[in-house]
Amino acid sequence: MKVLVADKVSVKGVEYLRQQPGLTVVEAYGSTPEQIISLVADVQAIVVRSETKITAEVMAAAPLLKVVGRAGVGVDNVDVEAATERGIIVMNTPSGNTIATAELTFTHILCGARPVPQAAASMKAGKWDRKSLSGIELFRKTLGVVGLGRIGSEVAKRAQAFGMRVVAYDPYLAPSRAKAMQVEGVTLDQLLAESDYITVHMPLTDTTHHLIDEAALAKCKKGVRLFNCARGGIIKESALVEALKSGHVGAAGLDVYEEEPLSADHELRNFSNVSLTPHLGASTAEAQESVGLEIAEQIADVLKGGVIRNAVNMPSLDAAQLKILGPYLDLGLKLGSLVQQMGPPQIDALNITYWGRIVDLDANSVTRAIQRGFLQKISGDSVNYVNAPVLLQRLGIKSHVLKSTDEVDYTELISVEAVAADGSICAAKGTLMGKTGKPRIVEINNREVEVEAHGKLLAIENHDEPGMIGYVGTLLGKDGVNIANMSLSRKEPGQTALMVINLDSEPSAAVRSELKSHRAIKLAKFVQL
C-alpha cells in the first residue's frame, strides 16, 4: 500500500511509516495541484500539513484512497464532505500543538507589554534608545481570554502565574468550570470593557467571524492590547488598523490573518507597536515531531485494519462495526447539532436515551456522535469522535446516558435533551426509516413531527391561530426561499403550535428578524444539519 506524504512532516513520522511492513512511502513536498493529481492514482493514504489542498478533484483521481491525515488541528485544506461521501477517513492531531500555540500567544502578550522586538532591532541598528522603549507590566493587569478551550485554558494558566487577573468569555462554558479554573466568566461586553489585554482562542465559524470588529473595539479601554494566534478572521483587520492609527489599540500581536500569506504591502506591517509572525503557532520542534509521528501512527493503524483515531468524519470503529452503526451515527450527529442550535447557549447537562434495537448494540460511538454533533458549531475543527467527551467536560457539561427497555412506537428511538441551569430543556427525538435507514426527526420539545434530518430547517413555535402557515410561506416566497417539506404539530387548538420546514436555501437575515418580531411567533430558529 502506498502513502503519499505531500507536505513536510517530522522525519520520525516518515521513518515510522517506512518501517511498517507492506507500506511504501512517496515524499512529494512542494508539488503543484496538478502534480498531486498525477501522483494519487494508486495511493491508499495521503499525509498533509496546511500547504497541500486535498480537494474533491484529488479524491476523484484516487480510487484506492482510504485515509487523509492532517498533521495539525484544522482540516481547512481537506474537503471533508467530499471525503465522507467517498468513504474516505479524514484524521487530524487535535492536541499536538496546544502548548506550542499557548506559548507563542504568551510571547506575543509579553512583546505587547515590553517592546522587545523593537528594542532588538534598535540595538542591531547601533542605537541605545532607552527612553522610547519603556513598557508596562503584566502584574495586576486584566487579561481577557475569548474562548476557554484547550489553548485558551493554557494561556490563562500562564497569565495567572504572572499575577494577572483573568476574565473569560465562552458562551458554552459552564460557570462551575470557570470557577474551578479560578477564572471569572463574563459576557463579551464585560470582557471588552474590563480587559487591558485580550487574546482570542475560538474556531473560525459564522458566529466568530469578525467577532472583534469596530463595534467591539469601541467598547474596549483606550490602549487595549489585542492578540490572535487562533484563526485569521476572528479579528477584523481593517477595524484593527483604524484602531491602531487612532491609538485606541495600544499594541497588537498576530500569528494568523484573514488572507495568508499576509500581503507585502499590508498596512499591519507599518506599525512599530504590532508584532507579526507568519503562522508559527505549531512551529516548534516538539510540536512538529509530535503531530508528525502521531499522524503516521494513526494512518498505519487504519491501513492495517486497526483502530481509527482522531477521525473528524467517523468514529473509532473497524469496518464491520461501522457498517452496522453508520446510520445511527448519522442520526446521532444530527440530533446533537439540532438541540445545540435550538437550545440555550449555556447548558449543564446533555441527557441521551436509547430505546429499541440500539440498546443491544455498542452505543458508545453513537453517544460520541451526539456529543460531536452538539460541539460542531462550538469547537469547530478540533472536535472529533475521540475528544468530544473531553471537550464537553471542559465546558462543564455532564453527559447522562440511559438505555431504556420501555416500549415505544418505533423500532429504535434516540432522545437528546440539552438541560440548562434554570431547568429549561431543549429536546429532540429521532429514528431511522426505510430500508436505507434514513435519519428522521420525530419529536421536538415534546411535539410530534416528521422531518428529514438533513440540510436547512426552519423551526417556528407560534400561537395557534389562522393564517400563520400562509404568512410564513408568503414571507419565504418573497425572499426566494423554496419550501421542500413542512411538518405541523400542536397539542390543543388555540395553544402553541410547531412548524418545522425543510428549505432549499437559507432565509435572509431580514426575514429571520421579521419572523422573530411577529406578535404570534414565540420562537424562530434556522438550523443547518
Domains of the chain: residue spans and CATH: 1-96+282-313 (3.40.50.720), 98-276 (3.40.50.720), 314-453 (3.30.1330.90), 455-529 (3.30.70.260)
d(CA 353, CA 361): 13
Q: Does residue 108 carry a pLDDT above 90?
A: yes
Q: Does 307 score more than 80 pLDDT?
A: no
Give Cα 99 to chain centroid, integer Å. Answer: 19
Confidence of residue 484 (pLDDT cuts 50, 70, 90): very high
Q: Characterize 375-393 residue by residue with b for buried, 16 or more Cβ atoms within 10 angstroms of its Cβ, and e for exposed.
A: bbbbbbbbbbbbbbbebbe
Residue 275 exposed, middle or buried by CB count within 10 Å (0-12, 13-18, 19+):
buried
Give 45's contacts (C-beta < 8 A, 6+ positions apart).
1, 2, 3, 4, 65, 66, 67, 68, 69, 299, 302, 303
DSSP 376: H
> Is the link from the previous residue into 261 a cis peptide, with omega within 30 of 0?
yes
Classify 477 as helix, strand or coil: helix
Please enumerate in sequence order all residues whose Cβ is within 8 A of that of 48, keeping only pairs 6 or more positions apart, or say none. 6, 7, 54, 68, 69, 70, 71, 77, 78
State the pLDDT at residue 387.
73
Q: What 3-state class would DSSP assign to 276?
A: strand
Q: CB 43: neighbour CB atoms within 10 A?
A: 22
- For residue 507, what are the contacts with CB-CB under 8 A and spacing of at least 6? 458, 476, 479, 481, 515, 526
Using CA atoms, how far apart are residues 305 and 502, in angstroms rounded to an integer? 39
Q: Which residues pair with 179 in a beta bridge?
A: none
Nearest-angstrom CA–CA distance, 107 and 82? 38
DSSP state of 360: G
**What band does 382 get if pLDDT is binned at 50, 70 and 90?**
low
Query: Which residues have C-beta within 8 Å of that of residue 50, sequence separation ≥ 6?
Result: 7, 70, 72, 74, 76, 77, 279
Backbone angles phi, psi at 446, to 5 degrees: 70, 20
Q: Which residues lie below 8 Å from residue 130, measured CB to CB, with a gap of 6+?
A: none
Evaluate whether 109 touches 143 at the Cβ level (below 8 Å): yes
Q: Mean pLDDT over all residues of the chain?
A: 93
DSSP 3-state of 175: helix
pLDDT grade, residue 381 (50/70/90)? low
Sheet of 412-419, strand order? 398-403, 349-356, 412-419, 425-433, 438-444, 447-452
Catalytic residues: 231, 260, 279
Tens of pLDDT along 155-181? 999 999 999 999 999 988 888 888 889
Provide the whole-model pTM: 0.72
Helix (H, G, I), strand (E, B) or coil at 207: coil
Per-residue pLDDT tens over the stretch 221-271: 999 999 999 999 999 999 999 999 999 999 999 999 999 999 999 999 999
Structure confidence by residue, pLDDT tens digits, 335-360? 999 999 999 989 999 999 999 988 88
Secondary structure percentages of the chain, helix, strand, coil, to 5: 35, 25, 40
pLDDT higher than threshold 80 for residue 452: yes
**pLDDT at residue 86 in the model:** 81
DSSP three-state, residue 190 = helix
The DSSP-derived string for 33-86 is HHHHHHH-TT-SEEEE-SSS-B-HHHHHT-TT--EEEESSS--TTB-HHHHHHT
pLDDT at 319: 62
pLDDT at 316: 64
Amino acid identity at 177: R
Does 140 have pLDDT greater than 80? Answer: yes
pLDDT given at position 510: 94
pLDDT above 80 (res 100): yes
Please tell me the number of Cα atoms within 13 Å of 282 on its side-chain side.
23
3-state secondary structure of 321: helix
- DSSP secondary structure code for residue 263 in this structure: P
Residue listed under C-alpha cell 413555535 = 461
